[in-house]
Chains A and B, each alone.
Chain A
């Protein structure tokens, strides 16, 4: 097919924020995750663990605890002392309700999801009623000295157990009185040190399970106040624990990055007497595991090393399928980089600032694998700090490199980039029309004279960009009624006329034509869209779904293309379907309409529609094999998927021109070195 000059970029200094807390949806279909920067993400288990929703963080809004309540409502609470409800359709945080007890360390919902209990800095436990449209303070439970670090409801909602420093107590919910107070550092030599109960759980049998800073997981009979079992799982702190719904398995996260599974197993085979046994140790993380969750079929852990690890329990999985594979997610399932093709600029989006870089260049050419000498080094042009405490939702640079836009939860900003010689200056475009924030996606047209802003309820605003630095709101495209509530706009790249916009709800992509009226709706597919793009010349919409399906929809003909139908009837290659990271970006080769370029975190793929599709018996990743074959023998081996796995982990890939690619990598080691040091562990031989 040809040689590409690849600009291999590793200077995107993204440091993903650590995972602070996890909350499994009670029905096990979704997982909510909060990061240390306050961002909240929702993963959909059914859609191949796709990161469905991201609500960017806020400087003042840390999230210490997340919980699902009243069905699908998600609440978060943090050290700001507020309880915040998240609008999952609008991807924003509603105004918080003050908990009234200082910083909130923990929050749990009762089994029916009607009440929330919060544990506060001042030692109080407060109950809030979940009401439509918000929450309402109900009452205070018995307050004792010492911050309440963790809470757990009894499954029957009669008692709450609250863990503090050195002790935990059990509170009767109806009377509000403390009925038992148990010191956890009793009879411990280290008793001079304080023992922090980091996590606690009250089982239906009346057993209290606590995880403390001495690295112990202890089982207590709270009514007697006696210790039933104690397992020292780690020499450093046990930070988190989660109990399976059946209460036969516990996962514990520790500050050494190890997680342990404890299982309730019969003492003798077939016997009645059961004991908790530490069964499986895992070391997936390099840093503190602050959050764990136990789904019916998997152990889920999130660490300060920003990794989310989903480890399926083999015994719960009926057949060997892709569900049985271990998954690790470090990077977001969305794009944080945009590229100005013509100007060869890259815009990197960080949580509170943007960086604009100019790529270097070379004058040499070479053979496969060679590193070419640079005649011009890449250049960091400008850093644009976002004003205010809000984190950035999305950003974009225009293809010509003269416009940069970004949006936060409340505001949309547009800048004009002026390049004068060596210096680069940014000037804010004044009087940007007020929109209904936030903007979820921004997209400049190919000729850089208009800007599309995808906003709430599936609407898309079209701006005309005016020289030397102004803009005008032209119109707003709205999806047909009936779907707007569910819409999350999703702007495709590369539309030629600049007026053709696709927007995507979780299920339905719909397409607007240049005449600015609703043109058609792509047939529903029961999976989240992870990327989509419109081919500039053929006007085919290519959609990648989170279950790794690829569809091509012809906008003029309002139907799937014949190639797409062929793909569907043949089925994609098994190895393709079994990848575990979604396609995050699709682009095209303007010179060759049959080429589609796409990438996920681990591979980049050039899809050549003119070549035959591979079947399961052929090797999907055959590039290295092909390279060893003589020219003549290659023909028979060629297939449509040309996959390169050289660049990992891949955050972004785009085609600058016909044979020039830019790839943005973020090696894990690079950002690990920027994380705070983990607990030092003596390793043998060091």
Chain B
């Protein structure tokens, strides 16, 4: 398979790639679907580097047998008769630059322009690299200066050379080593005097390396500067892993990777993928079931790749990356647009016929777009402050307990950045991970974090579980009050914990009592409630008459209810539960599991709150964060729903239920009376209005 596949020439424009075989050069018009020219070498000679086209002179340049340079034009028929020059050193590659001429890179790292070489083909070529093998090279124009970048490998070490042949400057850098992974493929682009080198590593990740293009030349002594790299992207698609073989940078936010997708228990599939590096998402992918050579070229918004035996050209378009585009909500569809491919078989048979088929553009958006939030875990040896929060978190994962807190405080004290919230969440996660199954529990620190930062349950999902485990009631209370997204399961767990914990234990616990302080008096006044009821228009006596079965110990049970059934600490904790958001359907199944005794206690407390609320004209309890009447009613309904049968059966609930029933009925009657009054008042108001709008009045109007 080496034949015809090893390299494809630097394109002559988007439309006319020169398709080389090792001894034949083919020029093909993609749009017209036919070959334009074919040139073959003599038997025994092989092309050792891709054929390039000089855009200015419209000449083709090929190198065969490492040292022999051939230059010809499209009118020429035979390569043998073409211009020939034998060089003194092995050529690695020829780079064609628009408006920059041609650069010849030798195996030894030397660079010459073609014109220089042609003046003196036998000139000495210096050896820049020693014992290193060039793995990749690229040429660019920056400030109208050609810049040549190539990477070399020696003994597992990788080096990057940046050479400006016009200025005679050469910089050598060493690539930071990556454990158990080595670079497979490189690509680079230059923006703003900075070379961005993207490197595909064997650990399925793309790293980005930034190399500044220094103008001054005195840096030469600083050889072997070590380049640090940063993770740009990790190709893990849920369980599948993309084993990349080639990488092309499309624009500043998009890269294309050709590779095989290895899903567990599935055949590896080769596919071409486009990734958005800004949002870490897979933009699109296209399966190539016939297999590829692993090589991918990209010229002027077209991919060229060998798919099976066919040269396939795929057009693509990358739009400015926006969040909408990244999550697939952008309206117009993009890549791959049209793919046309050339049948390689026909070439194989030396029949110079190229057939083209057009394939429908494949919209792969929905099926394979996945969010790839890479874990930024990079161990770097940079000072603390310049580390990204993710790095800090990773680094201190294993730090000793005493150090952890101070380090994290420092981290959180940094200037606010958009992801600081997430960082704090990360801090909490690290802390809770450590707390699990260990004695370590930084109670105050956690409390402080929850109180100062607007966290949410989803940011630190383990926090409340740890709080429950450690029985940190205050933390749970704060979380319930502050987190908007607590799952019903956790809410229930908190409720259960609050109800079951002993009052004695709570006495010594520090709990925020703001929500209860205004309405729970330790020694409650018996008469207060009664007068309230009479005020509402219905005395307890009257209710009793209405109630069919008279319940003994009436007055006694009444007096039981009027004092708060729980201590203030517990009441405050329960209030926090009442405050939390929930969905009835999700909470109800959990609530059914609440032990009967605790359910009764909770109902008793709710009933107490209800009576307290009804005492006030505006049915609101005083104090900060005190539960509203609606919350109380909702929970009461929920609780009764969940424990209906239990309540009916339970002897100790009987009194409570009948009291509750009586009170509710009195309320209903009271409100229906209010309704009547409202009707009359409205009528009065209307009449009043009519009278007011009567025919004549003399009024005083001040105009300022």
A→B interface (CB under 8 Å)? 1-11, 360-362, 365-372, 374, 377-378, 606, 623, 626-627, 634, 638, 642, 644, 646, 661, 667, 669-670
Contacts and interface: CB of A to CB of B under 8 A. Distances in A.
20 contacts: A2-B702, A3-B701, A4-B702, A5-B698, A5-B700, A10-B696, A11-B696, A360-B696, A361-B698, A365-B700, A367-B700, A368-B700, A369-B700, A371-B699, A372-B697, A634-B704, A642-B704, A644-B701, A646-B701, A670-B693
Nearest to A629: B704
Nearest to A9: B696
B700 A374 contact: no
B692 to A, nearest CB: 9
A132 to B, nearest CB: 52
Contacts of A377: 696
Nearest to B696: A378
B403 interface: no
A45 B701 CA distance: 36
Contacts of B130: none
Contacts, number: 80
Contact of B698 (A2, A7, A606): A7
B44 to A, nearest CB: 64
Contact of A3 (B694, B696, B702): B702
B413 interface: no
A372 B695 contact: no
Interface string B676-696: 000000000000000001111
A661 B700 CA distance: 10
B120 interface: no
Contacts of B695: 9-11, 378
Contacts of A7: 696, 698
A367 B703 CA distance: 12
A1 B700 CA distance: 13
Give me the 5 closest cross-chain CB pairs, A-B, nearest first: A368-B702, A11-B695, A626-B704, A372-B698, A366-B700
Contacts of A667: 693
Nearest to A2: B703
B51 to A, nearest CB: 49
Contacts of B703: 1-4, 606, 623, 642, 644
Contacts of B701: 3-4, 6, 368-369, 644, 646, 661
A670 B702 CA distance: 27
A366 B695 CA distance: 20
Nearest to A10: B695
A370 B700 CA distance: 6
A10 B691 CA distance: 12
Contacts of A642: 703-704
Contact of A1 (B694, B698, B699, B704): B704
Nearest to A3: B702
A644 B704 CA distance: 10
Contacts of B698: 5-8, 360-362, 371-372, 374
A404 B473 CA distance: 89
Interface of B: 693-704
Contacts of A367: 700, 702
Contacts of A606: 703
Contacts of B697: 8, 371-372, 374
A6 B699 contact: yes
B700 A3 contact: yes
A309 B143 CA distance: 69
A11 B695 CA distance: 5
A2 to B, nearest CB: 7
A633 to B, nearest CB: 11
Contacts of B696: 7-11, 360, 374, 377-378
Nearest to B695: A11
A370 B699 contact: yes
Contacts of A626: 704
Contacts of A370: 699-700
B690 to A, nearest CB: 9
A10 B702 contact: no
Contacts of A9: 695-696
Nearest to A627: B704
B700 A10 contact: no
Contacts of B704: 1, 623, 626-627, 634, 638, 642
Nearest to A377: B696
A10 B699 contact: no
B455 to A, nearest CB: 42
B231 to A, nearest CB: 44
Given A1-B704, A627-B704, A642-B704, A372 B699 contact: yes
Contacts of B693: 10, 667, 669-670
A616 to B, nearest CB: 21
B700 A627 contact: no
B62 to A, nearest CB: 53
Given A3-B702, A372-B700, 10 more contacts: A3-B703, A6-B699, A7-B696, A8-B696, A8-B698, A10-B693, A360-B696, A362-B698, A368-B700, A642-B704
Contacts of A4: 700-703
B481 to A, nearest CB: 39
B682 to A, nearest CB: 13
A521 B693 CA distance: 45
A458 to B, nearest CB: 37
Nearest to B690: A669
A667 B699 CA distance: 17
Contacts of A638: 704
A210 to B, nearest CB: 42
Nearest to B692: A371
A638 B704 CA distance: 8
Contacts of A11: 695-696
Nearest to B693: A667
A160 B703 CA distance: 61
Contacts of B699: 5-6, 8, 369-372
A271 B699 CA distance: 64
A623 B703 CA distance: 7
Nearest to A622: B704
A627 B703 CA distance: 9
A367 B700 CA distance: 6
A660 to B, nearest CB: 9
Nearest to B702: A368
A192 B693 CA distance: 47
A125 B701 CA distance: 60
A10 B693 CA distance: 8
A661 B702 CA distance: 11
Contacts of A361: 698
A206 to B, nearest CB: 39
B301 to A, nearest CB: 29
A368 B699 CA distance: 8
B636 to A, nearest CB: 28
Contacts of A5: 698-700
Contacts of A366: 700
B167 to A, nearest CB: 59
A398 to B, nearest CB: 23
Nearest to A638: B704
A9 B697 CA distance: 7
A120 to B, nearest CB: 46
Nearest to B689: A669
A7 B699 CA distance: 7
A623 B700 CA distance: 15
Contacts of A634: 704
A374 B698 CA distance: 7
A10 B699 CA distance: 13
A8 B701 CA distance: 11
A606 B697 CA distance: 21
A580 to B, nearest CB: 23
A372 B695 CA distance: 14
A178 B663 CA distance: 78
A10 B690 CA distance: 12
Contacts of A365: 700
B700 to A, nearest CB: 5
A165 B520 CA distance: 77
Contacts of A661: 701
